[in-house]
Amino acid sequence: MTASLRIELFPADLEVSVDFYISVLGFEVGKDDRPGGGRYVWLRRDDVGLGLMERRPADSGPTVPPVAVEIVLEVDDVTAERDRVVAAGGELADDLITRPWGLTDFRLYDPDGNYWRITHR
């Protein structure tokens, strides 16, 4: 089973971060939800994907990681991956769910508290 990795960051100031990644590091906008009132921008440079979502207060719900980084692992079969993780003793923070943006994922923390989201491609 193949996998790929992308990074999502939760900056305190979305505008400053978008400007930095575009003007300094040469990323291009792939998707921008800001014109419709959203707080998410998807950037791409070659095969590198970077999602930026404006940081929310820690008490705004379970989809907000406790740190400023969410690691996203994309797999071919998210259900099989979930079953494998659970069988291996992984404790899920959120079980499989189809999100409003169309992807199905599950979430868990590693032993150091890093927030992982496993999703289909």
Report which secondary-structure segment, H or E, holds 54: none
Are residues 5 and 72 in contact, defined by beta-carbon separation less than 8 angstroms? Answer: yes
pLDDT in tens, 94-105: 999 999 889 999
What is the residue whose two structure tokens read 């992308």? 6
Cα dihedral 43, 48, 54, 60, rounded to 10, equals 130
pLDDT in tens, 18-69: 988 898 888 999 999 999 888 899 999 888 898 998 877 665 555 555 555 7
pTM for the full model? 0.62
What tokens were used for 72?
């996203």
Q: What does the radius of gyration of the chain's CA atoms come to, in whole angstroms?
A: 15
pLDDT in tens, 101-120: 899 999 988 876 778 899 98
pLDDT at 80 over 90: yes
What is the residue whose two structure tokens read 């419709």? 36
Distance in angstroms (rounded) separating the CA atoms of residues 105 and 95: 8
pLDDT for position 37 = 87
